[in-house]
Structure 1
Amino acid sequence: MTRRLTYPEAAAELRVEESWLRRHIKKLPHSKKGRVVTFSDADLEAIDAQFHHEPEQTPRLRPVGPHPLAELKPLPSRRAART
């Protein structure tokens, strides 16, 4: 027989707050018999897969080599120009 978890048990297994499960129950896989809501292991795996995120592989933002403004030199100070 499959294991059936209540809200507190499922929240502990998923490492989320019980209130989060209750707020999102309409979007989450679960079983309901009358007013009793339970989660199977397959439900927990589906919830985990539904909210799993992998970082995107983005190209390098900066080109390899010197910075395009590296050749700029600061202007001489105004005090040196007055004397």
Structure 2
Amino acid sequence: MTRRLTYAEAAAELPDGVTESWLRRHIKKLPHSKLGRVVYFTDTDIERIDALFHHEPTAGPLAAVPAAAPAGQHPLSHLVPLPSRRSMRA
């Protein structure tokens, strides 16, 4: 049998920082099910929400594997400037 979780139960299942009010505010972007006017979340919905909004750091002290720059290059050398706003107006 599939579990049906309320907002409060879903917030408790998700990582810290996800509150019931956050779920309510973002419901249009989140996977969920409705039965009449009652909104509920299944285990699959909870997994998809976590996958959609979970971001691992790619650089810095919390990164699992620090991003390495190619030898002899500056770490930001791959960045290019944005086009001029004047050229966008034409």
Q: Distance in 2 between matches of 1:45 and 1:52?
A: 10
In structure 1, runs of 5+ residues without a counterpart are: 62-83
In structure 2, runs of 5+ residues without a counterpart are: 59-66, 76-90
User: SS of 1:21's equivalent?
Assistant: helix
Which aligned segments of 4 or more residues in structure 1 are displaced greater than 4 angstroms? none
Identity value in percent: 74
In structure 2, which of residues 38, 48, 65 is the aligned counterpart of residue 36 of structure 1? 38
Matched, 1:10 2:13: no
Q: Distance in 2 between matches of 1:19 and 1:6?
A: 12
Q: Distance in 1 between matches of 2:4 and 2:11?
A: 13
User: SS of 2:50's equivalent?
Assistant: helix
Larger relative contact order (Cα-Cα within 8 Å, sequence gap ≥ 6) = 1
Q: Which has the larger radius of gyration?
A: 1
TM-score, structure 2 normalization:
0.62
TM-score, structure 1 normalization:
0.67
CA RMSD of aligned residues (A): 1.5
